[in-house]
Amino acid sequence: MKKNTTRQRLLDATLKLISEKGYLGSTTREIAQEAGVTELTLFRHFGTKEKLFEALLRNHTFLPRLKELLPELENLSYRDSLRLIATRFLLSLKERKSLVKIMYSEVTTYPEKIKKLYNKFADDLRLTLASYFRGLQKKGLLRTVSPEMAAQLFLGMLFSYFRSEEIMRAGGMKKQIMEKNIKEFVDIFMFGTMKNE
């Protein structure tokens, strides 16, 4: 269980308010008030709203979960590893649906500093997954392709599915259908669509 430190309360308040109002609509005063501290305390802990947002991305997204997951993949087959990554990624997106939805809708209007933070987070996520693919290449288990491109394609395919099913449709992702689709995605990703000759 997380300690209820001032820093953690500020991150939780930021997550709540940005999920409801977006980055642009949430003020540091509101975040501090939600956390039960003064705005000065917020600035003592994070310095700026941008650094607070960066800490939110670093701590409350799929990136730390992916980093924790990588050692678990050592004992799994490639197929099972991809299925586990896909499942955890989609569940993480679903858990943070409000945040993802509002960030997705307002990202084009972010100030340049925030766009850079967001892009750095996306790059770190892609590079972390690429390191997994690169490790498999070194073991001779994957053919030579760009690990970064493979990571981008895999995550992009899953995000697109999440967006269409969870954000665009009223019903959202159903567990059984999601599991079936993950199996399909993984098979398509592993083997492509061309029939072996």
Q: For 43-90, how does the pLDDT look when each residue is reduced to its tens digit (9 = 90+)? A: 999 999 999 999 998 888 899 999 999 999 999 999 999 999 999 999
Domain range 61-191, CATH class: mainly alpha
1-47 and 61-191 agree in CATH topology: no
Which tokens in the block code for residue 188? 């398509």
* Calpha distance 6→8 (Å, rounded): 5
- Spans of all domains in the chain: 1-47, 61-191
Residue pLDDT tens, the chain, 197 long: 345 799 999 999 999 999 999 999 999 999 999 999 999 999 999 999 999 999 998 888 899 999 999 999 999 999 999 999 999 999 999 999 888 888 888 888 888 888 888 889 999 999 999 999 999 999 999 988 999 999 999 999 999 999 988 888 777 778 899 999 999 999 999 988 666 65
b/e sequence 6-31, b meaning 16+ C-beta within 10 Å: ebebbbbbbbbbbbeebbeebebebb
**pLDDT score recorded for residue 36:** 96
**pLDDT score recorded for residue 1:** 38
Q: Per CATH, is 1-47 categorized as 3.40.50.1220?
A: no
Which tokens in the block code for residue 72? 């678990």
**pLDDT score recorded for residue 3:** 53
